[in-house]
Amino acid sequence: MSEAPCRHTGLEPPTIRGDFPILSKVLHGGVPLAYLDNAATTQRPRQVIQAIVETYEQHYANVHRGIHWLSDQTTDLYEQSREKVRALLNAPAPEQIIFTHGATASINLVARSWGDANVGRGDEILLTEMEHHSNLVPWRQLAERTGAIVRHVPVTDRGVLEMEAFDRLLSDRTRLVAVTAVSNVLGTINPIGEIIAKAHRAGACVLVDGAQSVPHLKTDVQAWNVDFLAFSGHKMMGPSGVGVLYGRRELLESMPPFLGGGSMIRRVTLDGFEPADLPAKFEAGTPPIVSAIGLGAALDYLDGVGLDAVTRHEQDLTRYAHEVLGELGDLRILGPPPEEKSAIVSFVFDGNRPHAHDIAQLLDRQGVAIRAGHHCAMPLHKRFRVNATARASFYLYNTREEIDLLARSLQQVRQVFRRRT
């Protein structure tokens, strides 16, 4: 059983939980919510909800449009959020932070803009077998448009990238390596620094999908020397509908705009247009104004708790989850040991029975919210010869008690299932 929650990690979930109204919700059947589906989306603290309400009540107008006072205020708040994201990533300049609608939109922006301009027939795009569909499909579409070839770094039985294969597959034909920093199924933390250094030596650009890493682990785009980084606000306590693309300045400046419309232009005539400077060039139309401001509030909150403390707390929970789920015996956790992963634990019962969907449904009756299915990573599931896994994923407000409840509920699931069959 658990001790007092994570005293040694320097983070106090009971205090933190008080900031998240939804976590005190009592569900159908009178059970409290144990929210363990953070890799899908996280919950928001009152501070973020208040920032959203306050913006609509006090500061709302369109950005970069008005001459009027209110528009200036909204623009200031929107640009302050961009600066907060810059600081989070240690990016050289705020113009290199593009607000998009999410990680998916950020990756598609690069595939359409940089990809169409720089990738041709016979060029190679190197992905991995553990990518989310968001980092597979846009490149497959690019290959269909251009005649490029897509290759994939295999994943070992332990659930890590086969780096010898990466070395073999990387060549002077590789134009881009697109890789997730953390697998959304296995939790594996990939060796991004090594991948970027090797890709650059081969003359390739690198896009890192940071959807599962930026909310949990320190990110330094300059230390990584990464070309593009994509992530979503809703997986780090921000509102849905806002995401970020970081890009190297020379690349962003050389890329054509993706979407055309208002804001992204300097001048328009009936015969043509001249694009605006960064970051406006890639922010066509009215951007996700309030969501971006809400993301800024989420980053303030994260900063207040301390990202290092969050990482340590999650490591503690992940280790603990491996320990208590391991005691169930007939349950297989996919991916490497806890020291090599982030806060994601995906599992199947031996023989894949009960099925992940049944597990999730039965856990729901105990108030335990987990995800079941292929988690938008069908090729990875095929590689592990399962069509679905159950996934528990943690964030700063989760506790060891919730993991105990998960384990107890899984025991019950097993008993119910055995009685049935």
Cβ 250 to ligand PMP shortest distance, Å: 25
**Peptide bond just before 279 cis, omega within 30 deg:** yes
Cβ 141 vs Cβ 116: under 8 Å:
no
Would you say 5 or 115 has its CB closer to ligand PMP? 115
Query: Which has the closest alpha carbon to 374: 394, 398, 351, 348?
Result: 348
Among 211, 278, 302, 380, binds ligand PMP (CB under 6 A): 211
Question: Which one among 42, 104, 113, 315 touches ligand PMP, defined by CB under 6 A?
Answer: 104
Residue 180 makes contact with ligand PMP by CB under 6 A: yes
Distance between CA atoms of 419 and 200, rounded to whole angstroms? 57
Judged by CB under 6 A, the stretch of 130-138, 277-285, 308-316, 410-418 that binds ligand PMP is 130-138
> How far is 67 from 171, CA to CA, in rounded Å?
52
Nearer to ligand PMP by Cβ, of 10 and 285: the residue is 285
Smallest separation, CB 404 to ligand PMP (Å): 26
Nearer to ligand PMP, 214 or 413 (CB): 214
- Minimal distance, residue 57 CB to ligand PMP, in Å: 27
Of 55, 96, 134, 318, the residue at the interface with ligand PMP (CB under 6 A) is 134
Question: What SS3 class is residue 15?
Answer: helix
Of the candidate spans 8-16, 100-108, 118-126, 154-162, the one that interacts with ligand PMP by CB under 6 A turns out to be 100-108
376 is catalytic: yes
Alpha helices by DSSP H, 122-269: 137-146, 163-169, 192-201, 221-224, 249-254
DSSP assignment string, 265-301: EEEE-SS-EEEPPTTGGG--SS--HHHHHHHHHHHHH
**Among residues 45, 102, 241, 294, the one that binds ligand PMP under rule CB under 6 A:** 102
Cβ contacts of 327 within 8 Å, gap of 6 or more: 407
What is the C-alpha to C-alpha distance for residues 241 and 159, in angstroms, rounded to an integer?
31
Total residues contacting ligand PMP (rule CB under 6 A)?
Answer: 13
DSSP state of 243: E
State which of residues 129, 209, 283, 402 lies at the interface with ligand PMP (CB under 6 A). 209
Q: Tell me the window of 46-54, 80-88, 97-105, 296-304 that interacts with ligand PMP (CB under 6 A).
A: 97-105
Tokens of 173: 């034909």
Helix, strand, or coil (residue 23): helix
Instruction: Name the segment binding ligand PMP (CB under 6 A); options: 102-110, 150-158, 284-292, 331-339.
Output: 102-110
Nearer of residues 211 and 359 to ligand PMP, judged by Cβ: 211
Residue 371 and residue 391 in contact, taking contact as beta carbons nearer than 8 Å: yes
Q: Is 184 in the site for ligand PMP (CB under 6 A)?
A: yes
Phi, psi (degrees; rounded to nearest 5) at 26: -100, 130
CA dist 51 and 44 (Å) reads 11
Q: Work out the number of other CB atoms within 10 angstroms of the CB of residue 333.
A: 22
* Amino acid occupying residue 292: A
Least distance from ligand PMP to the Cβ atom of residue 184, Å: 3
Residue whose CB is less far from ligand PMP, 140 or 173: 140
**Catalytic-labelled residue, pool 328, 369, 376, 386:** 376
CB of 48 to ligand PMP, least distance (A): 16
- Does 137 bind ligand PMP (CB under 6 A)? Our answer is no
- Judged by the rule CB under 6 A, the positions of this chain that interact with ligand PMP are 102-104, 132, 134-135, 180, 184, 209, 211-212, 232, 376
The catalytic residues are: 376
